[in-house]
């Protein structure tokens, strides 16, 4: 039996069964489903699975966060479901039937930029390093830089531009290649088209603004002239040219006989695409890109800039949850190329930090909840490093208030960042390492904004969380005790084991299990766990103690068929899952699933046989001298 086979069976049921699954795959931490009807997925039950750390829906895919063991879980799921797994691309294609046109567009944009982001991050770091060694005058009373006083660093400064230029000036090559790759057309044609947009024969796109109109070179065809302008650093123009090539190739591939397609398709696709790129879509894309950049830059640097920043900082995390944040990559890159830096990226990095700080507070608030910590700690670390989805979907959105607290802190931090004009060289590392991408002259201001993005969400989440997550102290006379198991309730005297039936360990009751979960009957401390995972001792604040013993003679199973979620010293909340038992396995080994609950602190009760459900109150009556 696989480690996750039980959870895999349950997940199959909770997502609506095999017939509700179009396709399934997994990534590094998540199971990805393309469901026929996403409404059939029972989110509450799925998130109650021990191995599930949260769920969310994005780009039409229903995703279940499993964690580092997702590949093992996936194998067990494929085994129990009989559904053959497919690639992530196949799941994406299947899930598109559940997407709106806007989601499809944003998803496509994200898939185009995803392969480029590592190069953009690397380029941003290189520009930052070049600035430190060659642009900031640290020496000789602020008159010379490191490159000015050292030949080695001067050579390094010059050499690194080789990479920086390749990343940012020649970016259209990467964009057009990525489009052809995503759309399934000939990638080398995309590379060639991209190269025609940045050819050294053309006037460099960054020099156009400073070149008089009568000095811009042209191609003269007699009846018409076309300006020889390059599109270095242009994003929108390159994307439009890439899609022109893609659809031309698809058209000619469809209408051309296969015997001559190798000759006709490339020629008839590439040549018209280059002409259209330089005469129609290039100038249009340039104008659109410049307009977007001017609007964003103008808005951020205007007298209303801080208001724009506050709104952006507030809503960026929800934007990420919709997938619309991919649009900011194009805007960021255009800003960086047009103005030598971007004001937008620092706010994104600060939003990462703010949401991570909310998770950090949740981790402290739930420090006694081991299962919650399995989600909180990795989510906090990844968020501080710039990957926010585990934090957003696994923690902050689940509880609600941490998300809002993070949004508030992000908004305030964004106002500080924009108020001081903080700029990044380009898209860079997110989260705490984001400072590496920031221009050094803005480091102090960015550090101030970072401090705000840490302190405010953390403090607000702690304050709100202490109220939201607090377990009220219950007095003993309130008899606040719930059924921790589901099944047939029976007096302890009917248990076959005489140690329990004769009350040698104390009074209590037993439940013949009909479900495998065992919950905490009250909030308190775990004072004992047995190595074989079949017995647990709990103590309430008022001194009430119980022993929960799962099954009869189950110690002989050496933990097989049992799964524990707590350890000695943990604080548990009422209703929290303590353990799970595979009832079928226990019965197959000839063991009883009658499970005693004994009051080892001396209380006496009386109960009647009945069926009980989880969280049910008043399943017995207190009696005797210990009743208060």
Q: Phi and psi for 226 in degrees, rounded to 5?
A: -125, 125
Question: Using CA atoms, how far apart are residues 464 and 468, in angstroms rounded to an integer?
Answer: 6
Q: Phi and psi for 482 in degrees, rounded to 5?
A: -110, 160
Is the alpha carbon torsion for 240, 241, 246, 252 positive or negative?
positive
Give the pairing type, strands 218-220 and 562-564.
unpaired
CA distances from 372 to 4, 50, 520 (A): 19, 10, 15
DSSP state of 330: H
Q: Is 221 exposed, middle or buried (0-12, 13-18, 19+ CB in 10 A)?
A: exposed
Residue 299 near residue 305 (C-beta atoms within 8 A): yes
The CB-side HSE value for 195 (13 A sphere, CA atoms) comes to 7
CA quadruple 592, 598, 604, 605: dihedral, nearest 10: -50
- Nearest alpha-carbon partner for 273 in 171, 341, 197: 197
C-alpha 217, offset from chain centre:
48
Residue 323 near residue 389 (C-beta atoms within 8 A): no
Backbone conformation region of residue 160, classed left if phi is above 0, alpha if psi is from -120 to 50, else beta: alpha
Question: Using CA atoms, how far apart are residues 114 and 88, in angstroms rounded to an integer?
Answer: 14
| Six token digits for residue 523 | 């909030």
Question: Using CA atoms, how far apart are residues 96 and 107, in angstroms rounded to an integer?
Answer: 9
- Nearest alpha-carbon partner for 611 in 515, 496, 497: 515
Instruction: Provide the 3-class DSSP secondary structure of residue 529.
Output: strand
Q: Which residues, 6+ apart, have CB-to-CB distance to 165 below 8 Å? A: none
Instruction: Given the residues 27, 268, 383, 607, select the one marked as catalytic.
Output: 27
Question: Within a 10 A sphere around the Cβ of 37, how many other Cβ atoms?
Answer: 10
Question: Using CA atoms, how far apart are residues 546 and 535, in angstroms rounded to an integer?
Answer: 11
Would residue 268 show up in a list of annotated catalytic residues for this protein? no
- Nearest alpha-carbon partner for 454 in 363, 350, 314: 350
| Six token digits for residue 65 | 């966060």
| Six token digits for residue 399 | 């509880």
Question: Using CA atoms, how far apart are residues 507 and 264, in angstroms rounded to an integer?
Answer: 89
CA distances from 333 to 124, 190, 234, 441 (A): 10, 20, 8, 20
Question: Using CA atoms, how far apart are residues 611 and 50, in angstroms rounded to an integer?
Answer: 25
Is the alpha carbon torsion for 566, 567, 568, 569 positive or negative?
negative
Question: Using CA atoms, how far apart are residues 207 and 229, in angstroms rounded to an integer?
Answer: 9
Angle between helices 344-365 and 305-322 (to 10 degrees): 60
- Residues designated as active site: 27
């Amino acid at each position: 039996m696989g480690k996750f086979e039980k959870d895999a069976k349950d997940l199959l049921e909770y997502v609506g069964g095999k017939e509700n699954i179009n396709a399934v795959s997994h990534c590094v931490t998540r199971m990805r489903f393309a469901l026929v009807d996403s409404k059939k997925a029972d989110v509450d039950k799925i998130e109650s699975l021990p191995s599930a750390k949260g769920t969310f829906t994005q780009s039409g895919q229903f995703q279940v966060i499993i964690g580092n063991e997702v590949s093992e879980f996936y194998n067990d799921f494929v085994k129990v479901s009989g559904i053959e797994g497919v690639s992530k691309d196949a799941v994406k294609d299947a899930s598109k039937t559940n997407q709106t046109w806007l989601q499809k567009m944003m998803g496509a944009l994200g898939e185009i930029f995803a392969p480029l982001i590592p190069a953009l991050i690397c380029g941003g770091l290189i520009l930052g390093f070049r600035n430190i060694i060659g642009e900031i005058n640290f020496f000789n009373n602020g008159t010379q830089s490191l490159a000015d006083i050292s030949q080695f660093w001067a050579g390094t400064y010059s050499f690194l531009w080789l990479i920086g230029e390749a990343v940012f000036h020649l970016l259209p090559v990467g964009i057009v290649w990525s489009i052809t790759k995503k759309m399934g057309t000939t990638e080398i044609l995309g590379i060639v088209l991209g190269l025609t947009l940045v050819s050294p024969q053309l006037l460099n796109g960054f020099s156009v603004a400073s070149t008089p109109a009568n000095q811009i070179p042209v191609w003269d065809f007699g009846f018409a002239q076309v300006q020889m302008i390059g599109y270095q650093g242009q994003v929108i123009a390159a994307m439009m040219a890439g899609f022109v090539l893609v659809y031309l190739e698809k058209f000619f591939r469809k209408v051309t006989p296969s015997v001559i397609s190798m000759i006709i398709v490339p020629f008839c696709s590439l040549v018209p695409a280059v002409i259209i790129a330089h005469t129609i879509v290039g100038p249009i894309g340039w104008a659109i890109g410049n307009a977007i950049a001017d609007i964003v830059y103008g808005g951020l640097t205007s007298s209303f800039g801080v208001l724009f920043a506050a709104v952006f900082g507030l809503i960026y995390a929800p934007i990420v949850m919709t997938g619309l944040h991919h649009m900011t990559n194009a805007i960021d890159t255009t800003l960086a190329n047009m103005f030598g830096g971007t004001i937008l990226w620092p706010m994104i990095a600060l939003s990462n930090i703010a949401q991570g700080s909310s998770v950090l507070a949740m981790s402290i608030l739930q420090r006694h909840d081991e299962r919650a910590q399995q989600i909180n700690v990795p989510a906090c670390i990844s968020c501080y490093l710039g990957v926010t989805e585990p934090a957003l979907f696994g923690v902050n959105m689940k509880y609600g208030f941490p998300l809002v607290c993070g949004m508030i802190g992000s908004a305030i931090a964004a106002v500080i960042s924009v108020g001081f004009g903080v700029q990044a060289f380009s898209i860079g590392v997110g989260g705490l390492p984001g400072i590496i991408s920031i221009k050094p002259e803005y480091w102090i201001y960015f550090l101030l904004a970072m401090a705000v993005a840490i302190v405010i969400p953390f403090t607000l989440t702690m304050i709100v969380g202490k109220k939201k997550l607090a377990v009220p102290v219950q007095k003993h006379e309130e008899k606040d005790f719930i059924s921790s198991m589901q099944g047939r309730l029976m007096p302890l005297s009917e248990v076959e084991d005489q140690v329990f039936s004769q009350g040698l360990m104390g009074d209590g009751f037993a439940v013949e299990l009909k479900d495998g979960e065992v919950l905490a009957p009250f909030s308190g401390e775990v004072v004992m766990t047995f190595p074989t995972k079949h017995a647990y001792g709990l103590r309430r604040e008022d001194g009430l103690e119980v022993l929960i013993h799962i099954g009869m003679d189950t110690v002989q199973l050496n933990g097989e068929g049992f799964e524990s979620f707590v350890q000695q010293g943990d604080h548990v909340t009422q209703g929290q899952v303590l353990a799970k038992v595979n009832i079928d396995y226990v019965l197959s080994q000839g063991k009883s699933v009658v499970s005693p609950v004994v009051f080892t602190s001396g209380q006496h009760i009386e109960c009647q046989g009945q069926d009980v459900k989880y969280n049910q109150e008043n399943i017995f009556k207190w009696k005797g001298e210990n009743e208060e």
